[in-house]
């Protein structure tokens, strides 16, 4: 059996596992429909790139999987077009906000849940360092498991930290989806993964395949695909790490 996935843009993906189609972190608004993050070099409004598929292809998944509710992961457009009755897996901290938005089938993941033969584990992370990391609020990652299929770890918006290291050690994933882009504000350290963070993951789980997303679609993500690919080549990691373009489809067998 296989896990299939398609990168839409940024963190938005369609993941097909155990016969179910999950929509990850839907950010569905048109190009330039949201204001830019202030104080960074790129001043263009967000998102920077269009959807690579028709919006209608994304509005009826079996369920939504939401790492957190920042607007680049769940925007107003997604709230408008996705059915309020769709099963929505989220972190417990986001239940009140999502319920107030009208979603009625909320499935907060405290530690783990089983749904349609898929076990969903929630993992932790750090969305930056110091005061900035604290102000960004709680974020989560998820591990997806189904019998006979590759084990998939979605890091969520985090830097390399003890929570990520613990998730890798505990679950030993076959596939890791890394939210990268080295996003940062006008001051402070990055709030999502960069080159060295991805290197750390490669070293901790040497048999895993890495899929790097969360790039080139939001104005404060400074790390480009080309820069990352050059780093991977220079450090002997290019054969283990894929950096898909928006719209690319990937298939993995266990």
135: confidence class by pLDDT, cuts 50, 70, 90: confident
pLDDT tens for each residue of 184-234: 998 889 999 999 999 999 999 999 999 999 999 999 999 999 999 999 999
Confidence of residue 131 (pLDDT cuts 50, 70, 90): confident
**What pLDDT, on the 0 to 100 scale, is given for residue 56?**
97
Q: According to the model, what pLDDT value does residue 117 have?
A: 98
Provide the residue ranges of all domains of the chain, joining segments of one domain with +.
2-245
Average model confidence (pLDDT) across the chain:
96
3-62 pLDDT, tens digit per residue, is 999 999 999 999 999 999 999 999 999 999 999 999 899 999 999 999 999 999 999 999
The model carries a pTM of: 0.97
Listing DSSP states for the chain in one string gives -EEEEEEEETTEEEEEETTEEEEES---PPTT-BPPPTTSS--PPBPSS--SS-GGGGS--SEEE-S---TTTS-HHHHHHS-TTS-EEE-GGGHHHHHHHT---EEE-SSEEEETTEEEEEE---SSSHHHHHHT----EEEEE-TTS--EEE--S--S-HHHHHHHHHH--SEEEEE-S-B--SSSS-SS--HHHHHHHHHHSTT-EEEEES-SSSTTB---HHHHHHHHHHTT-TTTEE-PPTT-EEEEE-
Give the CATH fold of the 2-245 domain. Metallo-beta-lactamase; Chain A (3.60.15)
Residue 1 has pLDDT above 80, yes or no: no
Q: Which residue bears the tokens 């901290």? A: 93
Q: How confident is the model at residue 88 (pLDDT cuts 50, 70, 90)?
A: very high
Is the pLDDT at 156 greater than 90? The verdict is yes
pLDDT of 12 reads 98
Whether 128 has a pLDDT exceeding 90, the answer reads no
CA proximity to 202, closest of 230, 252, 164:
164
Higher-pLDDT residue of 171 and 187 is 171
Residue 186 confidence (pLDDT): 87
pLDDT of residue 130: 80
Separation of alpha carbons 104 and 86, rounded Å: 8
Q: Is the dihedral of CA 64, 68, 70, 72 positive or negative?
A: negative
Q: How far apart are the first and last CA of the chain?
A: 7
**What local confidence, expressed as pLDDT, does residue 187 receive?**
86
């Amino acid at each position: 059996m296989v896990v299939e996935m398609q990168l839409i843009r940024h963190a938005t993906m369609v993941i097909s596992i155990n016969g179910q189609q999950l929509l990850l972190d839907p950010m569905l608004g048109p190009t330039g429909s949201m204001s830019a993050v202030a104080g960074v070099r790129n001043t263009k409004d967000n998102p920077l790139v269009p959807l690579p598929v028709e919006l209608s292809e994304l509005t009826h998944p079996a369920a939504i999987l939401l790492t957190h509710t920042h607007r680049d992961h769940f925007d107003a457009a997604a709230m408008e077009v996705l059915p309020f009755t769709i099963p929505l897996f989220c972190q417990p901290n986001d239940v009140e906000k999502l319920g107030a938005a009208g979603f009625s089938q909320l499935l907060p993941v405290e530690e783990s849940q089983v749904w349609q033969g898929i076990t969903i584990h929630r993992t932790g992370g750090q969305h930056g360092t110091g005061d900035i990391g604290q102000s960004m609020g709680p974020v989560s990652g998820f591990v997806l498991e189904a019998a006979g299929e590759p084990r998939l770890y979605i890091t969520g918006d985090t830097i390399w930290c003890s929570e990520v290291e613990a998730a890798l050690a505990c679950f030993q994933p076959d596939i890791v989806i890394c939210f990268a882009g080295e996003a940062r504000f006008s001051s402070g350290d990055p709030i999502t993964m960069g080159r060295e963070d991805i290197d750390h993951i490669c070293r901790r789980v040497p048999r895993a395949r890495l899929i790097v997303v969360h790039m080139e679609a939001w104005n404060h993500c400074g790390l480009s695909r080309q820069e990352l690919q050059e780093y991977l080549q220079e450090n002997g990691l290019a054969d283990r790490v894929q950096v898909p373009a928006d719209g690319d489809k990937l298939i993995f067998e266990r």
